[in-house]
Amino acid sequence: MNIMRSHYADYSFHGSDKIDGIPEFIKCMEVIIKNVASALLAYSAHYAATKFYNYACIPDGFVGYLSGLITTGSPVCQAGIQVISNTQVSYSSMMMMGITRIIVDVVAPGAPVMPKTV
């Protein structure tokens, strides 16, 4: 008995709606939950970095305007800008892929998948 076998090694689609003894619906839900969690993580990081940058680097008011002349060039604030930029790209890419997937599923529901040839 090989305990260390690959998780994907013995998928069988011989008319069964189960994958490795687990219903296919649960496997699909697992994928959806992981994708939603990834999008929420990217958005949360983006939101937190934006709030930090607003609070620490460019506070509100005239004093914030004057202090922003100095703080926006600091390494911490520059790192904050990079985090904001990268998380925005990640989040928007995930949203676009999700929307595209929904559109493809609506346009071609249940499209046959070509079997792999060996």
For residue 82, being part of any structural domain is answered with yes
For residue 2, being part of any structural domain is answered with no
Q: How confident is the model at residue 30 (pLDDT cuts 50, 70, 90)?
A: confident
For residue 114, being part of any structural domain is answered with no
Query: In this predicted model, which residue has the larger pLDDT, 3 or 86?
Result: 86
Q: How confident is the model at residue 20 (pLDDT cuts 50, 70, 90)?
A: low
> How far does the chain reach from its first CA to its final CA, in angstroms?
27
Mean pLDDT of the chain: 79
Q: 88 lies in which domain range? A: 21-107
For residue 33, being part of any structural domain is answered with yes
What's this model's pTM, rounded to 2 decimal places? 0.64
Question: Can you tell me the mean pLDDT for 20-39?
Answer: 77
Q: Structurally, how many domains does the chain consist of?
A: 1
Q: Which helix (H) or strand (E) holds 22?
A: strand 22-23
For residue 113, being part of any structural domain is answered with no
Residue type, position 34, single letter = K
Give percent above pLDDT 90 in the chain: 32
Report pLDDT digits (tens) over 47-94. Answer: 999 999 999 999 899 998 998 889 988 999 999 999 999 999 988 998
What's the pLDDT score for residue 51?
Answer: 95
Q: Distance between CA atoms of 39 and 22, rounded to whole angstroms?
A: 26
Q: In this structure, are residues 61 and 109 in contact, taking their beta carbons and an 8 Å threshold?
A: no
Phi-psi region of 58 (alpha: psi -120 to 50; beta: other; left: phi over 0): beta
Instruction: Write out the DSSP string of 41-78.
Output: HHHHHHHHHHHHHHHHTS-SHHHHHHHHHHHTTSHHHH
For residue 39, being part of any structural domain is answered with yes
For residue 29, being part of any structural domain is answered with yes
For residue 16, being part of any structural domain is answered with no
What does each C-alpha distance from 52 to 62, 80, 83, 112 come to in angstroms? 19, 8, 11, 48
Contacts (Cβ under 8 Å, ≥6 apart) of 21: none
